[in-house]
Structure formats: C-alpha cells, structure tokens
Structure 1
Amino acid sequence: MTVVVALHFMLVLTFTTRILLRDDLSPPGRLAWFIVLNVLPYFGVASYFLFGEIDIGNRAIRRHDDIFTEIRAKARSFMGDKSSVESLIDPLYRPGFRYAGSINGFHTVGGNTAELMADGDATRARIIADIDAATEHVHVLYYIWLNDNMGTDIAEALIRAAQRGVSCRAMADGLGSRAFIKSKLWQRMQQAGVELAVALSFRNLILTMLLSRLDLRNHRKITVIDGRLTYCGSRNSADPEFLPKAKYGPWVDIMLRFQGPVVAQNQLLFASDWMQTTGKSLDEFELKTEQIAGGFPALVMGVGPTERRGATPQLFSNLIASAESELIITTPYFVPDATVLESLCAAAHRGVAVTLIFPKRNDSWIVSAASRSYYHQLLDAGCVIYEFKGGLLHAKTLTIDGCVSLIGSSNIDLRSFDLNYENNILLQDHATTMSIRQRQQVYINNSEKVELATVLAWRYYRRIWHNVIATIGPVL
C-alpha cells in the first residue's frame, strides 16, 4: 500500500512540476490542469500525456521553417511588400493588417475582388463550374470531406479535370475526413490521376501519441483554380445537412470567391501544407498573379501549431481595437482567451456597437456551456448577443465599421487559437464588407436576442455548470 501511495504521489508530482515549468501555458490553463490532476489524478495524467502539450514535433517544426525559407526565396514577389500597408490601408486599420502580415510573411496586396456566394447550392454549383473550366491546375484542401452531394461532386469534378490533363492535387485531414479517405471515391480520384495527400495522418498512431498530439488537426478550407481564383470561408466539402450531425443542421456557412494577387498567397499556403505532408518542393507549383483594376487590398494569413503561439487571439485583439463605430462577429464556437474577451468588453465600453452572433444549439456541449459563462460579462459591458435559431451557424465572420472584413476557418476558441491549422483572408473594401454585413443581418433576423435579465435569471446550478466547464476548458 505504501508503494502504491508513493507511486501515486510521484506521478502527480512529476506532472505538476512539468506544468509549473512551462512558460507557454496561460495561468487559466495551468489552473485547469491542476484541478484535473488533483480531482481525477489518473485521468488527468493520461489526458495530459495525450493532450496536455501543443507539440507537433521538432521534425515538423524544422520542416515548416525550411518550407517557408524556400517560399521566401522563390516566391517573395507573390507574398507582398511589408511597406504596402502604408499606401493601401486606412491609418485606423493598419495595425491589424501589419500584425496579420507578421504571421506568415504574406503582406497586403492590392487589386483583388470578391463575390459572396448566395447560399450552399450556389456555392457548390460555382465551385464545380470553376473546376470544370480549369485548364491548368486545381488545388483543394478540406478539413471535412464527406461522401455526400458536395463531396461527391467535387471529387467527380477533379476526376474529370485530371482526365483532360489538368494538374489536380487534393488533400484532406486524417481525422475530419477519415471515412472519405478510405472510400472507393478517394481511390477513383487517385486512379484518374489526382494527386492525393492526407494531412496529419494516423498511419503511425503510437508514434503520434508519443511525439505529438492526436487532436492537432488541419482545419483549413482552400480551393485554388488555375492560380486566378480562390474560395475562402467556413464551408467544408460537405452538404449543409451535414449527415454525421444531422440533428443540428443545417450547417449555415459563408463563402467568398476571390480573384487577384491574394489568390497566389492562398496558393502558397496550400503549397506549404502540401510540401509539409508530401516532402515535395515548391518547384512543382506554377505561380501567377494578376491585379484587377479598381480592386481592393487584402492578405492571407494561416495559423497553426508550427506558427508562433498566440497569433490568432492577438490578431483578433488588434482588429477589435481598431473598430470605431461597429464590430460584428459570427462564430459557432466561442471560448475566448482573456486577450479577446477583454478586447471585446473594452470596445463596447468605449462606445463601439459590438454584436456577437452564436448558434442557439451547438454540436459541442462543452463549447455551449463555456460560451454562456461569458454572457454576463459581455452583456454587462454593453455587447449585444444573438443566438441563431435556423440551424448551426457555422460562418466565421468579422466586420469592422463597414470597411474591414476577416473571413475564413478560424473560430474564436482555444482549438483555433492553439491546435488547428487555419486559413483566413483579411480585406479592406466597403462593398465586400457591406455584403458580408448584410448576410450577418440575415443571421440576426433569424436569431433570438439574449437579454441580461434572462442571463441573471438562470438557475444557480446552470451558472455553476457553465463556469465549471469554462474553468477546465483548456483541458477539454
């Protein structure tokens, strides 16, 4: 019995010491792990071993650094110039664009256009038509690729393109698309000549568990066609009905179709993932750029466990701080860190009309509980919160003053902040921002406003539950 107690003590002490030695762990994160280790020590030790540290491995980090060294050496002209922000961006919003440019080295480029897709059916039809019209190459990357109408149509379009001699590369995440990459359709794509790759594959599960984390995922959604157009937004290669979680559907997404120099940046971001996964060189990619007269300035930013820590919440904070009159955010998963939470409250306190739109029913009970733990503080500061009732609002959007927009795959939660590879486009354009703003208003019209009095009237056990989940959120 004494030996068991001693082993128990040493096990907990070892992991507690490891947590205390980490300089990269936030105080709330450290506290969450302490609570789990003391309340459920063996579960806590196992969880920390599997999920406690955001480490994709030194080899992957070195490879990432080598890839971007190669990209800067061979494709610097496509990455934009750091000084361009001074002439292209309104002084009020320059800090956000400067910060975004510091993440990957993709800087603001002018001459871009964007078209907001009307709905899910229009998005699918337009992407398929664009792939069918491709003459040079098609590159796609999706976190979730399902064997449904959307997933099948994209796969069949890639097969047709490859058969007529178009260079096609398709990549899917090893977890999010685990069923599809084992399907006959995936095999047919390969047989037709589509080059395939699996991001963060589970081929060596034991090695992944020992050297990295199982839940580090590639959450990006990238489509690039002929180097002249790209799609960016929240939609995976899946139908709005999203059959794996149909009871929460429909998934309500937003997609924009871009043309201009920002396409080359998205191409380079795709190439970086392809090179990381396959070991190939940038020389296999044909790059081009075309400025469109009267187009707006924009840039691509990608984050992930091989980029610097804290890039996403710091970007959000910079953008929130630049808002003068209005800030509207939609996200399905809202579990902010202190940086973003305080920035939102500060914006509301200084008179910015801050509107937050979340889904009323969430497919993650953890996120749902944690999100509502912040409602009191946000409402008390003057933020306005809506809960969308027409399905699961999956759109990730941010608009500022009707001038600046951020759109892409990043949620405002700890997974997007620390664990996932994400892609976004930041732009300054009144017309494009207002089209997104109008779509946000459609979401508001289909939402229920959350009143402070309602939150204060929640029963004590509900409030305790929300706060407990938020406290151990960094572990979950």
Structure 2
Amino acid sequence: MPILSNLLWINIILAIAVIIMERRNPTTTWMWITILVLLPGFGFFIYLWLGRSFKKRKMFEDKFVKDRLQSHGLIGGKQILHRDMDKQQIFPFNEYADMIEMHFRNGDSVLTMDNEFFPIFDGEEFFDMLFKEIENAKSSIYIQTYIMRSDNMGKRLCEILKKKAREGIDVKLLIDGMGSRRLNSSDIKKMREAGVQVEIFFPFFLSFVSPRINYRNHRKIYILDGKIGYLGGFNVGDEYYDGGKRWESWRDSVIKIKGSAVYMLKYRFILDFNFASGSKHVKYGDEINEFRGKSACQIVTSGPDNEWPSIKDGFLKMISSAKDSIYIETPYFIPDDSVLESLRVAILSGVKVKLLLPFKGDHPFVFWASLSFAGKILEAGGEVYFYKKGFQHSKVIIMDNKMVSMGTANMDVRSFQLNFEANAFIYDEKIAKQFSEKFIEDIRENSYCLTFEEYKKRSNWIRIKENVSRLGSPIL
C-alpha cells in the first residue's frame, strides 16, 4: 500500500508540473494528465517518450540557430530579390499580397515567379519519370524521403543511385529513421560503399527505440542537377507505385518543378542534410537557372524547430480568404480547433467546403478520429467524400480554383506540430484548376458521398471507436 500511495503522489506532482511547465493547448494538457492519472508510473514514461514540449524546444534550439545562420549564405540574395520587387512585378498577385508577406515573415519563404509546374497524380507515371530523370542526371541527385523500404521499388532506387554514384555524380540520400526502418542496413551499407552519401534523420539507437521517435521528417523532396524538383506525397515503396499488395491503387499528388522554386527545395534539403550529418560541409552551389516560366510560388516548410506553424498558418489564411470554395484532399483529417473553427465559419459564410478522405484507412485509430472530425464538417453543412478506388494519400488544398497548396503536410495535428513538412503554395489559376478538375473527377467517379443524415445513423460501436480515437488525436 505505501508503494501505491507513493506512486499516486508522484503522479499528482508530475501532473502539476505538466500544467506549470508546459505552455500547451489545454486539450493536449488534459489528455496527458488523464494518461498520467489512469496509468500511474507507466503513464509518466509514455509522457517522457512522446509528450515533452520543453524537451522539444531544447532538442531543436540548436537546429533552429544553425538553420538561421546557414540561411544567410544560402538564400540571402534571394531575400533581397523578394524585398526589392517593384509594384509592377507584384501586381498580378495583389490578391495574395498579405499571404505572400506572411509566409516570408513567418519562415523566410521567398516568392519566385519564373516557375513551371507539372502536376502528377499517378504513381507509375511519377516513378517512371523520376527514374528517367535520375538516369539522365549530370551533376547531382538529392533525395529526401520519409519512407524507403527494401522492397522492389526501394531496391530499384538503390541500384540506380549506386550506379550514378560510381559515375562520379554527387548523390545524397536523406531518410527518416522511423519511416525508413524497413530499409535494410545492408542496402544502406552497399550504397555508402558505392559512394552514395546516406544520412538518417533521427536514427534509432536501439531497434524501434528513440527518444525522438515522435518527431519525424515527413518531407519528400527529389532534386536533379539543381534544376528539376519534385515535391508531394510519394515515398519510396511498392504501394506508392501501384498500390502494392494491400491496395487496388494509390491516389497521390506530386508536382514537377522547373524554375527558381527548385532553389528553395534545395535550400531546405541542404539544411536538413547538414543537420542529420552533423556537419556544414554541404554547400549551396548556385546553378545557373536558364529556365523562365511564368508561375509564382512559395516553398513553405514547418516543423517542431519553427516558432510558428508556417504551413498551418497558410491553410488558415487560405480558408479565411476563400470566397467561393475550399477543396481538401488528405489521408488523415485531425485538425486542431483553429482549423476546424475556420472551416466551420467558412461554410456558414457560404463557402463550399468539400473534403476527400480514403474509404479505408491505413491506421484504424487515425481513421476513426478522422471520421469524428469529418462529422463536424457535415454538421456545419460541408460535403465529405470517401475515395474508394484504392488509398487516397494526396495532400492538397485548393482555394476558389485560383490557388493551391500541395506537398507533404496532412490536415492533422501531427503535421502542424510534430512533423517536419514542406508545401508549395502556388499562385497560378491554371495549375489550381488542374488540381480542381482532378478533385471533381475523383469525387464524381471514384468516391462515396457521406450525408449528415447517414452519419447521424451510425452505430453505437462506431461512435465509441470515434470517441476513443479522438481522445488521442493530439498525438496520432
């Protein structure tokens, strides 16, 4: 009994410490207090592993400072370009001037206006194009991905990278320790022996164990010769190519980029690669950009090392600025209160909000939590669709068919607060319409529309699963 009594007192003290020391969202705070109370002792170890935001601040303080110092050398000149744009240059984007300024102030996201974008929605098309670009690379190949496995697609990429490294090409691969845990160490060793510079972002110090397991580099960036870039939702694995063994097909989005926006992708890659390698030896070589497109874009990145959630702020700005419509594609819909309220206000203001989710989830708790939040959209008068032709993994938000944000960030708390993410905010009506047309095609031909009346008739068992899953939504 004395031991149990001491455990209870320790939990009470720790719960108070959480409230005093952590400047958290109250919902998240109460979730952790509940875990501490219901799981005496064990709950505190869970909190130490996954929940400490003061640990997060300390963990990423050095990264934030180093990134800022390196930024002066990497994009200093481009910041001047941004500030010195005259009114004639910025005039076509007056409608988005405040959003452009917000992104620049929030995260040094430079506006580039000489880009060309080519959206891709099919895994086979994307990987066939990517591997061809890699084969044709003349100077450098930089790849950053969250997931890479030792399956057919992963082995195929390993072989190509080893071949190019032996040819003398500068080949760098950055993978996440958690997401790429199924990439065999033997494959990594062979790539390094062939000359591929492989770095692991937050590697495990023991199998499946890491004090930083909750912070994941979720970015997927592919850069060839510093002149062609790809950004989107595709990791490296069999399912991303054609659905693999589990899914009928894989619905995703990636955008091929030419123009100065590729510089910004390369800038982000180098900062992450240097952090993972623990060195500053990778320099930012300014290739001559001979391409001159006409599309404007800001590459916006966010992560637990940022003071403010840059990508989420961009989403909020898009939602509040919408006059006609907001279309959202996301595999996981677990928004925080600010995003959910913003969507509700938009719907009540007459904006058509349409949400596309996967019909079957890849993570059960995340799926049921997403359904719970989707119910709030239906209740306000929005429309919710479930993609049935395989798995819907695309991460896109389209405003008024005029501008689009796409990339690696899901519409969930994890992407807003815990993951390192990268999105392109594209100010081009033509490109936005391409994404919009694909969205409309999917909801008409490949999706199931859930009505509010049908949602209200769901079983008590589904309601229980929703409620239980929603309790853990801050860390899902």
**TM-score interval for Structure 1 and Structure 2 normalised by the shorter chain:** over 0.9
Task: Work out whether residues 161 and 191 of structure 2, in 8 Å CA contact, stay in contact via their aligned partners in 1.
Answer: yes
2:142 aligned with 1:139: yes
Hey, what's the Cα distance between the residues in 2 that align with 1:244 and 1:43?
38
Task: Work out whether residues 117 and 256 of structure 1, in 8 Å CA contact, stay in contact via their aligned partners in 2.
Answer: yes
Q: Please give the secondary structure, in 2, of the residue aligned with 1:284.
A: coil
What is the Cα deviation at residue 309 of structure 1? 4.2
Residue identity in the other structure for 1:16: A
What is the Cα deviation at residue 180 of structure 1? 1.2
Report the counterpart of residue 116 of structure 2 in structure 1: 113
Choose from 165, 170, 185 the match for 1:167. Answer: 170
Residue identity in the other structure for 2:138: T
Report the counterpart of residue 93 of structure 1 in structure 2: 96
Residue identity in the other structure for 2:50: F
TM-score by length of 1: 0.92
Report the counterpart of residue 240 of structure 1 in structure 2: 239
Report the counterpart of residue 197 of structure 2 in structure 1: 195
> CA, structure 1 residues 88+396, in 2 after alignment: closer, same or farther (shift >3 Å)?
farther
Hey, what's the Cα distance between the residues in 1 that align with 2:281 and 2:107?
16
Task: Work out whether residues 177 and 202 of structure 2, in 8 Å CA contact, stay in contact via their aligned partners in 1.
Answer: yes
1:54-453 equivalences under 5 Å are 54=53, 55-56=55-56, 58=58, 60-79=60-79, 81-82=82-83, 84=85, 87=90, 90-117=93-120, 119-184=122-187, 186-203=188-205, 208-209=210-211, 213-240=212-239, 246-248=245-247, 250-281=249-280, 284-288=283-287, 290=289, 292-444=291-443, 445-453=445-453
> CA, structure 1 residues 467+237, in 2 after alignment: closer, same or farther (shift >3 Å)?
same
What is the Cα deviation at residue 462 of structure 1? 2.4
More displaced 10-residue stretch of structure 1: 200-209 or 99-108: 200-209
Residue identity in the other structure for 2:158: A
Task: Work out whether residues 300 and 310 of structure 2, in 8 Å CA contact, stay in contact via their aligned partners in 1.
Answer: no
Q: Please give the secondary structure, in 2, of the residue aligned with 1:453.
A: helix
Hey, what's the Cα distance between the residues in 2 that align with 1:50 and 1:85?
50
What is the Cα deviation at residue 246 of structure 1? 4.0
Report the counterpart of residue 474 of structure 1 in structure 2: 474
Q: Please give the secondary structure, in 1, of the residue aligned with 2:223.
A: strand
Residue identity in the other structure for 1:308: E
**RMSD, aligned α-carbons:** 2.4
Hey, what's the Cα distance between the residues in 2 that align with 1:118 and 1:357?
15
> CA, structure 1 residues 173+283, in 2 after alignment: closer, same or farther (shift >3 Å)?
closer
TM-score by length of 2: 0.92
Hey, what's the Cα distance between the residues in 2 that align with 1:206 and 1:189?
23
Report the counterpart of residue 463 of structure 1 in structure 2: 463
Hey, what's the Cα distance between the residues in 2 that align with 1:366 and 1:273?
30
Identity percentage of aligned residues: 25
What is the Cα deviation at residue 454 of structure 1? 0.5
Hey, what's the Cα distance between the residues in 1 that align with 2:390 and 2:135?
31
What is the Cα deviation at residue 271 of structure 1? 0.3
Hey, what's the Cα distance between the residues in 1 that align with 2:92 and 2:203?
40
Hey, what's the Cα distance between the residues in 1 that align with 2:78 and 2:467?
46
Q: Please give the secondary structure, in 1, of the residue aligned with 2:238.
A: coil
CA offsets, 1:295-322, max 9 Å, x none?
1110111111111243333221111111
Q: Please give the secondary structure, in 2, of the residue aligned with 1:81.
A: helix
Task: Work out whether residues 348 and 382 of structure 1, in 8 Å CA contact, stay in contact via their aligned partners in 2.
Answer: yes
Q: Which has the higher contact order (CA 8 A, sep 6+)?
A: 1
Hey, what's the Cα distance between the residues in 1 that align with 2:299 and 2:202?
22
Task: Work out whether residues 297 and 426 of structure 2, in 8 Å CA contact, stay in contact via their aligned partners in 1.
Answer: yes
Aligned length, in residue pairs: 471
Hey, what's the Cα distance between the residues in 2 that align with 1:67 and 1:205?
29
Hey, what's the Cα distance between the residues in 1 that align with 2:136 and 2:210?
40
Unaligned runs of 5+ in 1: none
Hey, what's the Cα distance between the residues in 1 that align with 2:264 and 2:174?
18
Hey, what's the Cα distance between the residues in 1 that align with 2:419 and 2:407?
13
Hey, what's the Cα distance between the residues in 1 that align with 2:241 and 2:388?
17
What is the Cα deviation at residue 25 of structure 1? 0.9
